A and B are shown apart, each in its own frame.
Chain A
Amino acid sequence: DGGITQSPKYLFRKEGQNVTLSCEQNLNHDAMYWYRQDPGQGLRLIYYSQIVNDFQKGDIAEGYSVSREKKESFPLTVTSAQKNPTAFYLCASRTGTGGAGLAGPPYNEQFFGPGTRLTVL
């Protein structure tokens, strides 16, 4: 089965700890994303990567770090610098890195993993 997996499903963090959330995809997508979801605030972009060994900050990158050593994997580390980390974290990947000239819609469609719920104790 092709898809996006996230682990763990639930994660508890103590004050001052760094924790790492896993995201793996076997869809052969070049681009991957991390979003954070809080009640009543929708999804906000943390980091994204369009190609291996390259990534960019999203709208709320402070207190987070990522790496993209393999095409299939895009782990997110929530550092102790993130003051309010309790949230639902969603990883996504996207089809098609080409332009409007490519055939075969839908392209540039984002697909999401099942999420990781992080709680600070």
Chain B
Amino acid sequence: KQEVTQIPAALSVPEGENLVLNCSFTDSAIYNLQWFRQDPGKGLTSLLLIQSSQREQTSGRLNASLDKSSGRSTLYIAASQPGDSATYLCAVRKGYNQGGKLIFGQGTELSVKP
């Protein structure tokens, strides 16, 4: 059974710091991995999607990497800002014929202090 873990559960950093959020999964046979952001009481916003054949994806100050063999993904946020404060979730899709179902980690709650 695929399990997704995100550590730490919460992180507080000063503004301007570069930071890394971690995501690990137990079964390396994934189809893709998606990183989301969730603001309190809101839905999820898709940040980056990495296909299983890719090593990384970049969008602005965000960079996500994927190492399938070790079952790990990282989300790198450069020059953090108070507006980056939110919960970040990673989710893996197991296989093409699995209906597109995502298995989620429990999230990392990020607080960026001005």
Tally of A-B Cβ pairs under 8 angstroms? 68
Nearest chain A CB to B103 CB, angstrom units? 8
Beyond A42-B89, A48-B101, whether A112 also contacts B51 by CB under 8 A is no
Beyond A114-B43, A115-B43, A117-B41, whether A105 also contacts B51 by CB under 8 A is yes
Which residues from B are CB-within-8-Å of A115? 41-43
Which residues from B are CB-within-8-Å of A6? 43
Interface size class of B (residues with CB under 8 A): 20 to 34
Which residues from B are CB-within-8-Å of A94? 100
Residue of B nearest to A45 (CB): B101
Nearest chain A CB to B97 CB, angstrom units? 10
> Is there an interface contact between A113 and B101, defined as CB atoms closer than 8 Å?
no
Set A35, A43, A108: member contacting B93, Cβ < 8 A: A108
Counting CB contacts under 8 A, is A31 at the interface? yes
Set A43, A100, A113: member contacting B89, Cβ < 8 A: A43
Q: List 6 A-B contacts (CB under 8 A).
A: A42-B107, A50-B100, A94-B100, A108-B100, A109-B49, A110-B34
